[in-house]
Chains A and B, each alone.
Chain A
Amino acid sequence: MATTTLFTLHLCRFGQSFSKKLFSTSPSSDTLLNPHHVTFHHKLRRPNSSSVPAFFRRFSAVAAASTSGEANYDGIGTADEKYDVIVVGGGHAGCEAALASARLGARTLLLTLNIDRIAWQPCNPAVGGPAKSQLVHEVDALGGEIGKIADRCYLQKRVLNVSRGPAVRALRAQTDKREYAMQMKSVVESTPNLSIREAMVTDILLGKNDNVEGVCTFFGMKFYAPSVVLTTGTFMSGKIWVGRTSMPAGRAGESASHGLTENLQRLGFETDRLKTGTPARVDIRTVDFSGLEPQHGDKEVSWFSFDPDVHIEREQMCCYLTRTTGRTHQIIRDNLHETPTYGGWVEAKGPRYCPSIEDKIVRFQDKESHQIFLEPEGRSVPELYVQGFSTGLPERLQLPLLRTLPGLENCSMLRPAYAVEYDYLPAHQCARSLMTKKIQGLFFSGQINGTTGYEEAAAQGIISGINAARYADGKQLIVLERESSYIGTLIDDLVTKDLREPYRMLTSRSEHRLLLRSDNADSRLTPLAHEIGLIDDRRWKLYQEKQARISEEKKRLRSVRISGGDLAAEVSRVSGQPVRDSSTLESLLKKPHMQYGILDEHGFGNIELSRIEKECVEIDIKYEGFILRQQSQLQQMVTQQHRQLPEDLDYHMITTLSIEAREKLSKVRPQTIGQASRVGGVSPADITALLIVLEANRRKAQEQSRYKIMNAMRAKALEEEVPEVSCTETVSS
């Protein structure tokens, strides 16, 4: 048995290096190799010789049982079907999950419907934006890929909210969508421990203890693994709509996946349906940009990734702004009955923040015009994304509608706008590790959890990937607390709130966003990632050096003092405040409108610091008071919010809770008081009632234990002569 396992490892490694030689297109793919996989194999082999970890044994036993009826080709082909982690779906969630898992050393299989569509951007060709950019930075800080790929494939980059505070500053990149998919595909293909295969997964294989054992495909293949990550996107029973016409599809031109929903329902999962849409694409060569307002990228480019290796500047492309006209509104109003929502033949809810153009016009009737952005989809394709113009109107009306927009009078349409309906599983069925509460080893990520957006998908993907690998390895699962990150906030929202529309990350969802900035994503999350093995030594060294430089510089600014001179004059001019003699540079930086750049101009800056590092120093010093106050508030809150709720609490028995709270809490089964308070329909009075129950139980337990101790003492006094049996003896007997 041990030899089989070893053989598999060899085979697997051989395959990997082979494929690397064949497909190594990316120049930096070598750097993506994570040294940690080596240590993992050590870990695996060592127990093989002495005592095998529990999951391996469990796994082998079941595999033998289930294949016993069939022809046994053990050691030739079937061995390949056993993995540590299987990721179903090759989108933004699936890629991050598979990469994280493989980089942690778990033998990972990525199953996708179409290998040519890995990391496809089916909607907006962009990454980042408010709140979403924080997610990208955080995924990168954890050692994920989305930030690097976006940095490599950008067409244009802009920092939004520049002057509105460091916490809401947000980077957005327009990306080349073909290049993006190719880059990600090559990274996935060249990652050791990671295999890819085209397959449509239709069922989950279960073990005896409500644990997952693998998946079954449409063509009857069975793949085994103790961890399975489902990232089905819009494909699960997907159905696309153009006007009144629909067809089963996950995306235009790609077939949907059928059967999985029913099988998940059979396992007791609750499913529901969501809807989203994408606007038409027009031929860039048929658009007249001369009268349109251009939107250029930033002159000084910012980066998602904390890894300076991907900071390579490239030529930027321009986006354009146009507006809807009275004619546009007229066409829509005349044809409302032709749209799925107003015609009433699609009931699934679409996202509020991504309303179709007909929604905007119906709901905001007094607005005469709406902004429409024209964004290129790549350097080598003629497609132009018409942002803000998604519609459910039939195709015959779409071109006339597009042609009402200034600049698009003579445009030709390449792809029609369409809406897509798909199955999702309300995420209260997952724990914060993204493992399902019902079935051990089964993880959900991305749109299957009801989110929308590549960044949200990637964020969940990396967490489920990490946890899938850790679960397979018998390690404790990782949970990011709500207050630790946007990723934590996202997941906490998903698992506690009863979401019935696609969930998009927004800055207003984060209560303590001043502490969760893009600039400190690395210092929040990289140590964790290093500890679990996702950040390699090179990145870790870079990180440590950066932190050292920042703290040195803060120390320097505190100690260097100036009296009078050009700098003082300029500072008092800029800030409108007097500068006292012998002021520290730190105190100057704290003044209104003062920036590090002014120190640089007068020769008081530190030339060894990068622009990003200077920004970190500036933020830390300038907003120190606010940051400290938020931190202490958070601390106070956390002690209350993180109070654990007993897992076996019977909410139906707590009569002081409102009926609604009893139902919701029984369904969501929150892990902490904080989570309970965020469950919809649970009022503060209910939380008070819960606290009372906890308090009453605590008192009861206390009194009981006191009684027990007294009883024990009494018993001891009575039966002095009875000898004590030592615990070790009891166990070994």
Chain B
Amino acid sequence: MLRASEKPNAVMAHLPALRVLLRHINCLIPPPRTSMPALCTIRATCHFLLLSPKPRKLHATATSKGPENHALLLNRDERVARNVTPSDVVEKGSTIAAIVTSLGGPPGAVGIVRLSGPSAVSVAGRVFRPAKRSKNNDWKPMSHVVEYGVVLDSEGNVIDEVLAVPMLAPKSYTREDVVEIQCHGSEVCLRRVLRTCLEAGATLAQPGEFTLRAFLNGRLDLSQAENVGRLITAKSVAAADAALAGIQACLTRIWFDLILQCNKISLRMQCIELLTEIEARLDFEDEMPPLDLNIIMDKIHSMSQDVESALEAENYDRLLQSGLQIAIVGRPNVGKSSLLNAWSKSERAIVTEIAGTTRDVIEASVSVNGIPITLLDTAGIRDTDDVVEKIGVERSEAVARGADLIIMTVSAVEGWTSEDTKLLERIQSAKSSTGSLIPVILAVNKIDCNPRAETDWDRGCQSHDIFSKRVFTCAVTGQGLQDLERAVLELVGLDAIPSGGRQWTVNQRQCEQLVRTKEALERLQSSIKEELPLDFWTIDLRDAALSLGQIIGEDISEEVLSNIFGKFCIGK
């Protein structure tokens, strides 16, 4: 049921309960002659309830009689309880600690253990001994002043030489007291420091708990919290920049004005204008000129397209986060490793004239328009009896199956060979096994050794339209690498993005809303097609506007109304 009762006030709320109580008392004590003594009993009981020295137990009885007699007694109760509770820790929450720099990789010079919570300073004070030791035992740090000292374990042994950075509430990331201990970057040091902190009274932070606290304490809003996560996991400079921009300026609104404006009125405004047109006719039927359905249809169509292009930004954003995996495959000795070296501007792979030099998968990172790309150089695929090379070939095929994109390399000198055809079949079978099509770029390498290949190629080999793109490259001179990058971008649908990367991105939540907008617009179009009455159009338009509105967040009813009154002359 959508009906509910409300509590007019505490007194009202208590009446039924008191009456129940009264009836209860009537059973226990002799019935009063008139009703007035009964009233006195109520009053008395009431006062008694409030002044009772043991209110908690009474409250327990009260709640058992119904939820409405909640308010009054509970509050009194809590005040009493607070006096008995000495511990501030419980009041304010626990103090958490964790290693906040990365572990597992090669050790950095410095690593950080962070403490956050009301007793962060006292916990730190127990483990940290400043070099300039004050006579007072308690550590009383100045906020945002770095102190040099050592960390001691419970037995007083020095564990590490550290810098302590106190950031006192509320001027800290979590808005709680925060102490960051910068110690040496090796895992051993970090774990030992953390352990002493935990022994000194901190609890281990759950993943993301610092950010959760920042969010709960109002330091970050939701989209900012999301951006922090992105900054931490950002793989490339462009991704980090986009995430930083998000944190620094609460740019949600700005992003969407950018995305959805497209040099005209924002998409949401367009929804609202359409709603205005339609709703004005529903509320003021006989005062409005008829609606031009064609114009409405056109508008809806162009809105769908705008949403599509906004979703493209999401695609870019996803790539910024996860990056692309590109497998370079081909027969032995066509120059795969040279290509990788040339592209990544490194000597990552060993290059020799001997076919089958590369036995294992070799990775190298490049960045194309801000998108982090992992290049995977593979062993040349051929039938071989060499046990080691055989394993290498199997790995090559596995890598090809898992990649986002495959660059199949052939040699311009040798041209297309029957082995290439075979290899292509193998890749294709791999593709069909995963079910989804992995785009393949054909790279005709060693073009410098056979410049005529560029013109001859098309005539020489036909029927290779399974390649999504074809480029001519020379790993030695670097020729064609830019074409290769462009081909990659085109294939992942990001060719329109300027080389510096976009200034804004769409995050997952925002993307969801865009998808909902898109769905709403699709439903709208089908409603129109099925010739459903006008009112049904407004349902999906409202949905679309609401989805967009949640991004930048506003109530639409009032807006539609002011629009109607502003735009049309209605009202009798």
A residues with a Cβ closer than 8 A to B are 1, 51-54, 57, 124, 130-131, 160-161, 163-168, 209, 351-355, 360, 363-364, 367, 370-371, 373, 387-388, 431-433, 435, 440, 471, 474, 476-481, 483-485, 488, 497, 506-509, 511, 513-514, 528, 592-593, 623, 626, 630, 638, 642, 647-648, 655-656, 671, 677-678, 683-685, 688-689, 692, 695-696, 699-700, 703-704, 707-708, 711, 725, 727-728, 730-732
Contacts and interface: CB of A to CB of B under 8 A. Distances in A.
Contacts of B18: 54
B416 interface: no
A593 B570 CA distance: 31
Contacts of B2: 480-481, 483-485, 488, 638
25 contacts: A51-B35, A53-B19, A164-B282, A164-B285, A164-B534, A165-B532, A351-B571, A431-B6, A433-B8, A440-B12, A476-B5, A476-B6, A508-B279, A514-B539, A592-B532, A630-B539, A683-B553, A689-B221, A692-B218, A699-B216, A708-B85, A730-B54, A731-B45, A731-B58, A732-B28
B422 to A, nearest CB: 51
Interface string B210-224: 000001111001100
B535 A514 contact: yes
B286 interface: yes
B555 interface: yes
A369 B285 CA distance: 17
Contact of A354 (B42, B216, B560, B571): B571
Interface stretch (B194-202, B324-332, B497-505, B561-569): B561-569
**Chain B facing A: main interface SS:** helix
Contacts of A508: 275, 279, 282-283, 557, 560-561, 564
B219 to A, nearest CB: 9
Closest 6 CB pairs of A and B: A165-B535, A684-B553, A656-B218, A484-B2, A165-B533, A388-B572
Contacts of B15: 54, 474
B533 to A, nearest CB: 4
Contact of B283 (A130, A167, A626, A656): A130
Contacts of A671: 6
Interface in B233-275: 275
A700 B93 contact: yes
B215 A692 contact: yes
A511 B535 contact: no
Contact of B52 (A124, A703, A730, A732): A730
Contacts of A655: 218
Given A130-B284, A476-B5, 11 more contacts: A355-B571, A431-B6, A435-B8, A440-B9, A477-B5, A508-B282, A688-B221, A695-B216, A725-B57, A730-B52, A732-B28
B451 interface: no
B4 interface: yes
A54 B6 contact: no
B222 A387 contact: no
Given A483-B2, A506-B283, A704-B90, A593 B531 contact: yes
A656 to B, nearest CB: 3
Nearest to B38: A51
Contact of A477 (B6, B39, B564): B6
A673 to B, nearest CB: 14
Contacts of A57: 35-36, 39
Interface of B: 1-9, 11-12, 15-16, 18-19, 21-26, 28-29, 34-36, 38-39, 42, 45, 48, 52, 54, 57-58, 60-61, 68, 71, 75, 81, 85, 87, 90-91, 93, 215-218, 221-222, 275, 279, 281-287, 530-536, 539, 542, 550, 553-555, 557-558, 560-561, 564-565, 569-572
B8 A507 contact: no
A671 B216 CA distance: 22
A352 B565 contact: yes
A367 to B, nearest CB: 6
Given A51-B38, A671-B6, A688-B221, A704 B564 contact: no
Contacts of B29: 732
A51 B3 contact: no
B282 A353 contact: no
A160 B286 contact: yes
Most buried by A among B34, B553, B569: B569
A364 B569 contact: yes
A593 B533 CA distance: 10
B249 to A, nearest CB: 14
Given A479-B6, A483-B2, A703-B90, A164 B572 contact: no
Contacts of B221: 685, 688-689
Contact of A164 (B23, B535, B557): B535
Contacts of B536: 165, 514, 623, 626
B81 A708 contact: yes
A642 B215 CA distance: 23
Nearest to A727: B61
B572 A387 contact: yes
A506 B91 contact: no
Contact of B4 (A53, A479, A511): A479
Contact of A592 (B42, B48, B531, B571): B531
A511 B545 CA distance: 12
A707 B48 CA distance: 28
Nearest to A695: B216
Contact of A727 (B4, B57, B287): B57
Most buried by B among A440, A497, A704: A704
B531 A168 contact: no
B144 to A, nearest CB: 21
Given A592-B530, A626-B536, A688-B221, A731 B11 contact: no
A69 B281 CA distance: 63
Contacts of A478: 3, 5
B495 to A, nearest CB: 35
A707 B90 contact: yes
A360 B568 CA distance: 10
B26 A51 contact: yes
B557 to A, nearest CB: 6
A593 B39 CA distance: 67
A725 B34 CA distance: 32
B90 A507 contact: no
A479 B52 contact: no
Contacts of A471: 8, 12
Nearest to A386: B572
A167 B535 contact: yes
Contact of B93 (A166, A476, A699): A699
A361 B386 CA distance: 93
A262 to B, nearest CB: 26
B507 to A, nearest CB: 15
B91 A700 contact: yes
Contacts of A433: 6, 8
Nearest to B14: A54
Contacts of A351: 571
Contacts of B533: 163-166
Contacts of A647: 7, 71
Nearest to B565: A352
B218 to A, nearest CB: 3
A483 B2 CA distance: 7
A286 to B, nearest CB: 22
Contacts of B550: 684
Contacts of B25: 731-732
Contacts of B287: 371
A477 B3 contact: no
B565 A432 contact: no
A730 B57 contact: yes
B27 to A, nearest CB: 10
A130 B550 CA distance: 29
Contacts of B560: 508
A100 B76 CA distance: 39
A488 B4 CA distance: 11
Contacts of B534: 163-165, 168
B4 A481 contact: yes
Contacts of A367: 569
